[in-house]
Amino acid sequence: MAQIWTVWDAELGYSPMHFIKRDVDRTNPQGAEPLWGVATVRPDGGRILHTFPHSTLEWRAAEYGIDPADSDTLLDVILHEPYLPNEDDPLAQIDPATSKLLAEVRGLPTCWTPGVPDAERLQAHLARMQAVKRHRVRLENAPSADRQAALVYVGSDRVAPPHPLDPIRAARLDPIRVESRRMAVKWQRQTGQKPDFFAKPATAFMGMQPTGGAV
């Protein structure tokens, strides 16, 4: 039976920023990417902060054909994925629950399986997440009253939202960025290569010819 972990809060942060050159006045810095942190608590009271880049939402929408507006499905996938065991890990076979989970999901197509419709890829991945919830970890929202009491205890004047993931659920994904991820995924499925600056449609950027074929 899966352990039930509770979700308490979600906050926005940013990845570290660094500069390519020493002369920071004349170069563009890298980093400061939006980064979500989701506070969860294990049954034994241990606290886990699950962090992931905001772009993860865009990538999962692109990889599995999830509606970018369907934040609940996107978050359900992202937050349960870390508990999907690696089938190549020999230690995973020692734990009966993990072994049963792997047996249930073995052979399901992934986002990289060629020739599979998006709908089938999505159903396969959702089946993996359901198996995780049955056998390893299932995330449930902590009661609103408990979340508010925790905020009061730490001296915060925040009001606990009805849903602990509301800050993330309220974010709207940029359709242009989602489409760029989708094209990148399609390119890699078809070619087996990761796209880069030179892998682009033949009509893009006058004077710069693509080197690996059109996207």
At residue 204, the pLDDT reads: 52
* Location of structure tokens 């508990």: 83
At residue 42, the pLDDT reads: 96
What residues does each domain of the chain span? 3-173
Single pTM value for the model:
0.84
At residue 215, the pLDDT reads: 46
Angle at 92 between CA 140 and CA 96, to 5 degrees: 70
Counting as low any pLDDT under 70, the low residues of the chain are 18-29, 195, 197-215
pLDDT tens per residue across span 55-114: 999 999 999 999 999 999 999 999 999 999 888 887 777 888 888 999 999 999 999 888
